[in-house]
Structure 1
Amino acid sequence: MVILKLELERSKRSNWVWTKQNTARSVDIMKVLEEFKEYLPMTERQIFYQLLHYTDAPHWQRQYEGKTGQVDVYAALGRVLKWMRIDGKINHDVVIDEHRIITRKEGYTDAESFIDLKLKYLDYGYSRCMAQKQPRHIEVWIEKAALLSLVKPVADEFCRRVIVRKGYGSITFQTQFYARAVEAMGYGQTPTILYFGDWDPSGENMIHAAMQTMKDELGLDGIDYYRCGLNPEHFNTIQKNPVPIKNSDRRSKKFIKNHGTTAYELDAMHPEKLKTLVRDSIMKFTDMGAYDENKAQEVEESRWLVDITKDIKNYAREKFNHG
């Protein structure tokens, strides 16, 4: 086996300078980060859509052949954000990169540290499954991995799964859902999909492709599918400068015929509006009476666990002290 140790090979890069233009752009970015600080970290795409409030300003324009036009805001944003972090103007962790996955390092210092960590979980780790006694098996499907951090806490309130459906789902994905759906039907529940995706040729078609595979090719019927967003009624809540239709998408012709030439991305929705939309959509298909019963039971069980936890901790400490 040959493993090569690499030496740095530099490519040509232009030097970064904090010009008046770049400084003015950074001020606009700081305004966005301050306004949305409770939703941090955000992706560059999310910041981009909120930044569009400010891009009519001169420092987001450029002169070309005697004409004034807007710069590529997304590209400019990426460059300014990079140097804002390198130069310490903002913390590195305010921007998240959802495409780079880091696995967790396994292992504990020793057995005592392992027990200590597990005992800490007993203080706050219990929550009752709120999906019990419900007539529907609800899953929240979202097109954008970047929005998982916003959507998951809302779905967790109701003990519902969030599935990131980036692109068209593979047959592996479909058969995994098939198994969950069949299991739910066995409990007398109706599998119910709440879908949130872009309003564009692919985003509009993806859920229908999944429905067709499930019914025609896997032979499973009895599933309810709902497109909860983006839908036309949400467009007036989204920032200006919607996305142009991609000519490379073979579904564009049909989409334009049915819906026009404008597309919108789910990322453009205000984070709080998206969370509210997800919560309202789940509640629409949730028996809130059964939900409240589970909540009341959770409170009683939590009180009981406090006493049990004390006994377990005392037992563990005694064992370690006399071990």
Structure 2
Amino acid sequence: MLAAVELILGRYAAQLPLTIRQIWYAAIAEGFLIRQERTYKRLVEILGMARRSGRISWLAIRDDTQAAVEPLAYDGPDGFRRALVEAALGYRLDRQAGQAARIELWCETPGIVPQLAAVTDPWGVPVYAGTGFTSLSGKRAAALRAASGGHEALCILVISDWDPSGLHLFTALAEDIRAFAALDAPDVRMEFERLAVTEEQIAEFRLPTSPVKATDRRSFPGTSTTQAEALPPDVLASLVRDAISRRRDAAVLAEVLEREDVQRRALLERPPV
């Protein structure tokens, strides 16, 4: 199993760190495991031992079970000056400025947000996750962002599971943001698109499925369910990359990047505090 995991981590090196569930789905797709909860629990145990022993890098697997807030501190004035230089090196403008539509990516699964953010970062597209789908304040915040950006439209791309919850989350997200925008951003057009998971993707990539829960009475057009983490990480990255790039004006972005570079150089040329 560890040899299979190492093969999977090597294949998706560009998308690391992966969640354990992504590794599990990849192992199922490769035929290393069967889709049963006991195999997932066993994988969790084995990966824990492998990470403790040093066989699997701690940086290869994402673990979001701990939330922490640490105070900002420096090792002295020199450390503060180094932080200023690092901040200047990271200086950037709003890379969506001047575009007709502001794009946001919303993902039902918090664990893959950093993976998606690495894909969206060159365009300055933010990624929102998890509780935002059910948080009224999070939905209203999206409408307020639409109102303040000077864009003609707000385009929200959504990644959610193919199951009753995933589809209903998408519907509720679109309905609520449209309602808030009608008050807070009446002149901004609202656009919503589910990038994944779809029935076509399930068939194309032969994703593992589960039956719809008999106790779930919500309307659902499918006969089986699939989680977003079942999509191969490189496929997911490609879906996001293509969706954003076809909505961007490359010339407008190039002009923003040029100004960003000029201003960054000016910051670095100034003497440190």
| Structure 1 residue aligned with 2:166 | 203
Provide the rounded CA distance (Å) in 2 between the counterparts of 1:84 and 1:121: 36
Classify 1:167/1:250 alpha carbon distance in 2 versus 1 (closer, same or farther; 3 Å): farther
- Give 1:190 shift: 1.0
What TM-score, normalized to structure 2? 0.86
Q: Indicate the RMSD between aligned Cα atoms, in angstroms.
A: 2.6
85-94 vs 154-163, which moves further: 85-94
Classify 1:75/1:129 alpha carbon distance in 2 versus 1 (closer, same or farther; 3 Å): same
List runs of 5+ in structure 1 lacking aligned partners. 1-24, 62-68, 317-323
List runs of 5+ in structure 2 lacking aligned partners. none
SS of residue in 2 equivalent to 1:41: coil
SS of residue in 2 equivalent to 1:147: helix
The answer on 1:99 being equivalent to 2:65 is: yes
- Give 1:209 shift: 0.8
Listed one character per residue, the Cα deviations across residues 130-159 of structure 1 (whole Å, up to 9, x for unaligned) are: 211111121111111111121112222111
| Structure 2 residue aligned with 1:29 | 5
Provide the rounded CA distance (Å) in 2 between the counterparts of 1:137 and 1:171: 20
Rg: which structure is higher?
1
SS of residue in 2 equivalent to 1:228: strand
| Runs of at least 4 residues off by over 6 Å | none
- Give 1:295 shift: 2.9
The answer on 1:243 being equivalent to 2:203 is: no
- Give 1:74 shift: 0.8
Correspondence for 2:256 among 271, 286, 294: 294
| Structure 2 residue aligned with 1:172 | 137
| Structure 2 residue aligned with 1:5 | none
Aligned identity (percent) is 23
Listed one character per residue, the Cα deviations across residues 26-83 of structure 1 (whole Å, up to 9, x for unaligned) are: 3322322233333322211111011114446xxx58xxxxxxx978221111121122
CA contact (8 A) 1:138 1:160 kept: yes
Provide the rounded CA distance (Å) in 2 between the counterparts of 1:75 and 1:147: 19
| Structure 1 residue aligned with 2:50 | 84
Provide the rounded CA distance (Å) in 2 between the counterparts of 1:300 and 1:283: 24
SS of residue in 1 equivalent to 2:128: strand
CA contact (8 A) 1:50 1:239 kept: no
What TM-score, normalized to structure 1? 0.74
- The count of aligned residue pairs is 269
CA contact (8 A) 1:43 1:98 kept: no
Q: Higher relative contact order at CA 8 Å, sep ≥6: structure 1 or structure 2?
A: 2
